Amino acid sequence: MELAITEMAKVTGAAQRVLEFRDVSLSFGGLRAIQKVSLYVGQNELVGLIGPNGAGKTTLFNMATGVYCPDSGTILFQGHNIAGMPPHRINRLGIARTFQNIRLWGQMTVLDNIRAAMHRRAQTPVWEIVAGSTHSARTETHIVELARELLTYLDLTRFEHELARNLPYGEQRRLEIARALATDPTLILLDEPAAGMNTGEKVRLMELIRRLQTERHLTVLLIEHDMKVVMGICERVVVLDHGEKIAEGRPQVIQRDPRVIEAYLGEAPPTA
Partner 1 sequence: MKSPSVRRTFLFFLLYVALLAALGETVIPAIGPYYTQVLIFIGINITLAVSLNLILGFAGQFSIGHAGFMALGAYTAAALSFYVLAPMVAQLGWIGSTGGLALSLLGGGVAAALAGLMVGIPTLRLRGDYLAIATLGMGEIIRVVILNTDFVGGARGFTDIPRWTTFTWVFLVAGLCILVVRNFISSTRGRALVAVREDEDAAAAMGINTTRYKVFAFVLGAFFAGVAGGLQAHYLQYLHTNSFTFLRSIEIIVFVILGGGGSITGSVIAATVLTILPEALRVAQSWRMVIYSALLVVMMLTRPQGLMGGREFQWSWLLLKWRK
Q: Which residues would be at the binding site for partner 1 (CB under 8 A)?
A: 65-67, 86-88, 91-92, 96-97, 99, 103-108, 112-113, 115-122, 124, 126, 128-136, 139-140, 143, 179-180, 182-183
Residue 147 and residue 179 in contact, taking contact as beta carbons nearer than 8 Å: no
Pairing of strands 219-223, 187-191: parallel
Residue 107 and residue 166 in contact, taking contact as beta carbons nearer than 8 Å: no
Smallest gap from Cβ 135 to partner 1, in A, equals 4
* 234 contacts: CB under 8 Å, gap ≥ 6: 46, 47, 48, 222, 251
Taking the least distance from each CB to partner 1, the nearer of 118 and 239 is: 118
Smallest gap from Cβ 43 to partner 1, in A, equals 22
Q: What sign for the dihedral angle of Cα 107, 113, 117, 121?
A: negative
Taking the least distance from each CB to partner 1, the nearer of 104 and 229 is: 104
Smallest gap from Cβ 127 to partner 1, in A, equals 9
Taking the least distance from each CB to partner 1, the nearer of 46 and 111 is: 111
Taking the least distance from each CB to partner 1, the nearer of 118 and 212 is: 118
Smallest gap from Cβ 187 to partner 1, in A, equals 13
CA-closest candidate to residue 99, choices 63, 64, 155, 61: 61
Taking the least distance from each CB to partner 1, the nearer of 106 and 196 is: 106
CA-closest candidate to residue 75, choices 30, 128, 19: 19
Smallest gap from Cβ 195 to partner 1, in A, equals 17
Smallest gap from Cβ 129 to partner 1, in A, equals 5
Distance CA 75, CA 171 (A): 32
Taking the least distance from each CB to partner 1, the nearer of 76 and 108 is: 108
**Which element (helix H / strand E) includes 191?**
strand 187-191
Q: Which amino acid is at 215?
A: E
Taking the least distance from each CB to partner 1, the nearer of 59 and 65 is: 65
Smallest gap from Cβ 221 to partner 1, in A, equals 15
DSSP-derived 3-state class of residue 95:
strand
Angle subtended at Cα 69 by Cα 78 and Cα 113, rounded to the nearest 5 degrees: 70
Distance CA 270, CA 272 (A): 6
